[in-house]
Amino acid sequence: MNSYRNPVPTVDGIIQYPSGVLLIHRKNPPSGWALPGGFIDYGEDAETAVLREIKEETGIDAELVELFHVYSDPSRDPRQHTLSVVFILKPKPGSVPIAGDDAGNLDFFTEDRLPDQIAFDHRKILESYFHYKKTGASPNKY
């Protein structure tokens, strides 16, 4: 019998605010600032997973705006081979961000004020997002 190894599916959320994009500072390794997100649970779809992870890490009830892109570089997560389905979201009215679960802190960042230490491949995701917002050019175009 053959055993197969597959990438582990994850989700990340780009939450849009007038003051910038919300990032969390991770409590657990790998350290650094990151988009809120995490692993998709067995039996859970990606859309439900991103809303759950955002609620757990930021306290925010969010609404899906659009599917952004899938990032699957085998080296994107130093712990194991993951692929991330990245969504753009907006907070529901009245949702107030508060650090929870894996988040030690949270803050808003703009394209010209990104933190130095960003975990995973989230700098690449953020650069693609800001380029998309300015030009409408999707990272899906090869």
Kindly report, residue by residue over 2-19, the tens digit of the pLDDT: 688 899 999 999 999 999
Neighbours of 26 (CB within 10 A): 19
Query: Rounded to two decimals, what is the model's pTM?
Result: 0.93
Average pLDDT over residues 47-65: 97
- Which residues have a Cβ under 8 Å from the Cβ of 128 and sit 6 or more positions away? 68, 69, 139
Kindly report, residue by residue over 35-46, the tens digit of the pLDDT: 999 999 999 999
DSSP state of 62: E
* Helices of type H across 98-137: 122-135
Kindly report, residue by residue over 106-132, the tens digit of the pLDDT: 999 999 999 999 999 999 999 999 999
Instruction: Find out whether 65 and 90 touch, Cβ atoms under 8 Å.
Output: yes
How many Å apart are CA 2 and CA 36, to the nearest integer?
A: 35
Task: Give the start-to-end residue ranges of the domains of the chain.
Answer: 8-135
> pLDDT value at position 137?
87
Average confidence score pLDDT of the chain: 94
Q: What is the CATH number of domain 8-135?
A: 3.90.79.10
